[in-house]
Chain A
């Protein structure tokens, strides 16, 4: 076949900026939008970090916490907002909005996303969703304290903090976020499918793009469930429909008598039909990015590329039929347990394959312990712990004694809290030189890494054992109401919690060091050059660093090989970029 013409792309008219405002605010350049997403997500992530300090203060030092004014309301509002911000507004927004926007066109050799204008709107709508979310803090009653799962009837009845405005801003913000995500996500998927450069077949794409691609497709199909349930709960709250609300005798809400005949379980099914794919919306981009980091810094090809791609696809498909493993003790028909336990444990197989392939990539490699590599390695071991504990909770009967305990808290923080965050850090250290043209400070980076990696392990690993003891999650105070020591919360557990809290304060404080590094290195960092790591994928082959609007010069690059030609025998260099032609 003659060399295919690239429709539209080469004649694409880019909207060039004319002023500071159009360059940095109303920008249609995917790279600027990526940075906008990144900064906003990090800013709101810092809010969530402070919230985690508030709740760790209360859990570790209940008496001091109460004396400092942490009431049950503040505690429950903090856990709710912390969870929702971290899952949606930080992790999803950062991995897809920031990494997705930055990497997709560059890695595929495209000039930009296919619809830059829609992409720009996507960011502004996302920003609006963040503002609406935080409005909960200034409106009467404060933000919602219903837990990030927002289970009705509790979420909209007095007796839970934030039922005046907080729950409304929360649901509204989620609906707005979904609109933003859809606009961005349509762009990502269309760009990946239809706007690759010459020679870039799907099976030559770096795994980062594969992970982001699969996650975006999941998002486009899973977020509708959250959107619909948010609409229905808003109607229940505002005009007293009864989708999720059965007949209720509430001691705290006189209006509750208006409800009749709804189904609280329906909400849980809808929420987790979104919620479980959401786990993989966060995990799959992290899987992809970490594969690339490991490969580049180990100077070795990723092991089993095809298997890795198929594992991503398999995990994505399976993630839609495992949702009810979050509901084993929720009162649904018990026979569902057989089905969902089986599907859930099947999903462990492709996930395990990914872990094997990461570790085998290290075998007979030539590992450079750069800061991104350190984060990538700590991701693998953290993910192994989080993934294995998933086998406890996914296996229906094993879940029974452990659900709603600290075992669950430890599990999901390991697997979808700390793990993707480690990848985000690794990714930032890896791509910062391309984004700014300067390296991040290595010494600060190593300090940041060691404290974060060791600290998070010390925080979450012991929590599993609190779960075995039976310490329930989401308790404002484990001692007060029982009037002393109890079997499910021995004194040693209180001591452990105090230790965990102190560790959490330290680890949290070190994240500000990271922010400092980001800011200072922008001006003072060492010049990076176009390809400081000796990487092969296209984003390191732009004519300028940082890449200018339009990314490539007159001619789009042409791809001749996969993204993992490291240490090819007989070659002088230990890496061959994707656009280097094969020897005839």
Chain B
């Protein structure tokens, strides 16, 4: 009896839960309503089977519970019944599979009028590239990557000059225009996913993957990384805006091209020690998480770092000076800046020597001090 009630409550409860729970798909913001349709078809077919099997079991366990004077029926096989069930199941499966394959056909074939943009994934930030006025991407290679060339642009490729580079976790796309997202990764597997778009695909180092979609609803959405990519996986977020065409155009025009980016890099004059510090920062990969342009990525930006006041997670604040910087390298979790996750590994003496830390401090002092102060020294 208890078992029959258990099964009945399970079935009824599951159905009720489905209707009263607040959790369902977010409002769709792309053309992939067809994906939702295939999910719904599957949901209803499976739901009916679940309810049918559950109720059948509940009835059987109630009706045929053990009684001393009764005996079970002896029925080893029933070919007609077994074949009938097999055929019905096959039909049900085909009903789910056929629409799924039709929509998949759509998913893998990009329409001719789709424009392209590139998503560059790296631990644990996003960057984006648009092909610029010529409509062609410049070639890239990971071996070209350094702090002044975060996309690994090939400097000799003229197609790359007008490529628009957005080296922060933010991208805008215009509404009602199909886009083909080209995905690449610098280091490990990532997965570009905006839940409201529905579509997703892994970014795999060493190859370019793609998917396409058409934004259909103006708004701001979250970009998630959906493939485990290391200890900072969960911090790999970004902002995805669907704009009107005008808003998008003006946003895009404000972004730097590769040419502008190169021109903007003024050869700064550092002391010898600071120059070595800059090399340490490059080789240790500091710039993966700490920007120089004020954008907040995985870690706090270094823009205006020296002498600034930083709010910490424990509510106190600290002035950035040499001891604080050294501590933040050696034991980064001790005084953590508000709003950031404790993902940086402690760089012990086995990873960075004391000399290198000293060089780094010198570099940070010269690079990030407010102008006047630097001039005074």
Contact = CB atoms under 8 A, between A and B. Distances in A.
Interface of A: 66, 71-73, 76, 145-147, 151, 153-154, 157-161, 246-252, 254, 256, 261-265, 298-301, 303-307, 329-331, 334-335, 337-338, 341-342, 345-346, 348-349, 352-353, 355-357, 359-360, 362-369, 374, 377, 380-381, 384-385, 388-389, 391-392, 395-398, 400-405, 453-454, 457, 461-462, 465-466, 468-470, 472, 474-478, 480-483, 486-488, 490, 492-493, 496, 564, 566-569, 574
B288 A252 contact: yes
A290 to B, nearest CB: 13
Nearest to A145: B231
Interface in B214-234: 221-222, 224-234
B193 A404 contact: yes
Given A362-B61, A461-B14, A157 B66 contact: no
B204 to A, nearest CB: 4
Nearest to A404: B226
B38 A481 contact: no
A150 to B, nearest CB: 10
A487 B196 contact: yes
A363 B46 contact: no
Contact of B187 (A159, A482, A566): A159
Contacts of B56: 359
Interface of B: 2-3, 6-7, 10, 14, 17-18, 21-26, 32, 35-36, 38-39, 42-43, 45-46, 49-50, 53-54, 56-57, 60-61, 64-67, 70-78, 81-82, 85-86, 89-90, 93, 96-97, 100-101, 103-105, 107-108, 122-123, 141-143, 145, 152, 183, 186-189, 191, 193, 195-196, 198-207, 209, 221-222, 224-235, 237, 283-289, 333, 339, 341-343, 345
B37 to A, nearest CB: 10
A388 B122 CA distance: 36
Contacts of B343: 72
A328 to B, nearest CB: 9
A300 B56 CA distance: 17
> Which 4 A-B pairs have CB atoms at the shortest separation, nearest pair first?
A246-B206, A251-B288, A470-B195, A251-B285
A388 B143 CA distance: 46
Contacts of A249: 122, 142-143, 145, 152, 186-187
Nearest to B145: A249
A538 to B, nearest CB: 19
B300 to A, nearest CB: 14
Contacts, number: 358
A122 to B, nearest CB: 33
A574 B71 contact: yes
Contacts of B101: 338, 341-342, 396-397
Among B49, B50, B64, B237, the one with the most A-chain Cβ atoms within 10 Å of its Cβ is: B64
B53 A384 contact: yes
A381 B22 contact: no
Contacts of B235: 480-481
Nearest to A390: B46
Nearest to A470: B195
Given A398-B39, A481-B235, 20 more contacts: A250-B188, A251-B288, A252-B285, A298-B64, A366-B66, A367-B60, A377-B57, A381-B10, A388-B49, A395-B97, A404-B193, A465-B23, A468-B25, A469-B25, A475-B234, A476-B233, A476-B234, A483-B339, A492-B23, A564-B76
